[in-house]
Amino acid sequence: MKNQSLGYRLFTIANYLFITMLALATLYPYLNTLAVALNDGGDTMLGGVTFYPRMPTLENFTTILSSESMLRALFVSVLQTVLGTLLGLIVQFTAAYALTKRRLVGRTGILLYLTIPMFITGGLIPTYLLYSNLQLLNTLWVYVLPGAFSFFNVIIIRTYMYTLPESLEESAKIDGAGEWKILWRIVLPLCRPILATIALWTAVANWNDWTTTLYFITKSNLQTLQYKLMLMIKESEMIARLMQEAIERGETVPNYTARVTSESIRAAQVIITTIPIILVYPFLQKHFIKGVLIGSVKE
């Protein structure tokens, strides 16, 4: 530090200040949401809640998770996330490996065939009819099977596989290894960074999914947590709107202080839905950074 010029030290200090301010700006929305989720709903309506709850309470969370149906919905969401992520990784990884082989018959045609649906889709009604004919409606498989294959993810994994030395596969073949042994013993361990990235993307997509329940599920025991939370928010907003309209018409409304409001429920929902991802991300961070930098450095 003694040999550094004054300008360089000022530049370093400015960088640290900028990064600190950027970190605070990034963390503030989440910390504010956490404070609102842990604060009394009626007190939150008065405003002024920032980094910490002014009237701490767990009532917002107990309201969401107290019923048996919400716990069952949580189980369905966890099951969808686990099965959807595992099946998606297996299908997309094996498909990407097959598409890296130049000896694959009709590879160009297959790539073109799989590329077209990325830009042109049939729409909701044909999709509903397809799922109906496949008897996927009102089953757990409607959450898992349709999302098991993503050509976008396949392209990313395939591109990563092209960075692996071909000499590894050639050496394995000389030693007598077959395609399956090469795939699982050699290629799979080397693809952990990109697979961790795809796993995180797939898990987040499955965990946050609620439209599948909206379109293809009518049985209450198969509804996901996100769909239940969406209904709860809509109901609380409707009650608040009806009360406001009654007040504007001069009608008498029950005189009570709202302990749980739509804003506090929404904040608690955000915390509930982000906690699993926050808990998983540290374990995938090392591989995730390597995965997202795919193709940035070439030998």
CATH of the domain at 198: 1.10.3720.10
What range defines the domain where residue 103 resides? 65-292
Residue 182 located in a structural domain? yes
Over range 3-21, report the average pLDDT.
85
CA angle 8, 11, 14 (to 5 degrees): 155
pLDDT over 70 at 294, yes or no:
no
Average pLDDT, the chain: 82
Residue 259 located in a structural domain? yes
pLDDT over 90 at 267, yes or no:
no
Distances (CA, A) of 168 to 12, 50, 144, 286: 44, 56, 34, 24
Residue 134 located in a structural domain? yes
Of 9-13, 86-90, 126-130, 215-219, which range is least confident? 9-13
Over range 227-243, report the average pLDDT.
74
pLDDT digits (tens, 9 = 90+) for 32-86: 888 888 888 878 877 788 888 888 888 888 877 777 888 888 899 999 999 999 9
Over range 84-107, report the average pLDDT.
91
**Residue 297 pLDDT class (50, 70, 90 cuts):** very low
Q: What is the pLDDT of residue 256?
A: 44
Residue 39 located in a structural domain? no
Residue 108 located in a structural domain? yes
Residue 228 located in a structural domain? yes
Angle, to 10 degrees, between the axis of helix 192-208 and the axis of helix 262-292? 160
Q: What is the pLDDT of residue 9?
A: 83
Residue 56 located in a structural domain? no
Q: What is the pLDDT of residue 299?
A: 45
pLDDT over 50 at 257, yes or no:
no
Structural domains counted in the chain? 1
Of 15-29, 224-238, 245-259, which range is least confident? 245-259
Whole-number Å distance between alpha carbons of 55 and 42: 10
Residue 2 located in a structural domain? no
Task: For residue 134, give both structure tokens.
Answer: 């496949």
Identity (one letter) of the amino acid at 80?
Q
Contact 79, 140 (CB under 8 A): yes
Identity (one letter) of the amino acid at 121?
T
Q: What is the pLDDT of residue 105?
A: 87
pTM: 0.77
Which residues have a Cβ under 8 Å from the Cβ of 111 and sit 6 or more positions away? 99
How would you class 226 by CB atoms within 10 Å of its CB: exposed for 0-12, middle for 13-18, buried for 19 or more? buried
pLDDT digits (tens, 9 = 90+) for 159-191: 888 888 888 888 888 878 788 888 888 888 888
- Rounded to the nearest 10°, the torsion over CA 5, 11, 14, 19 is -120
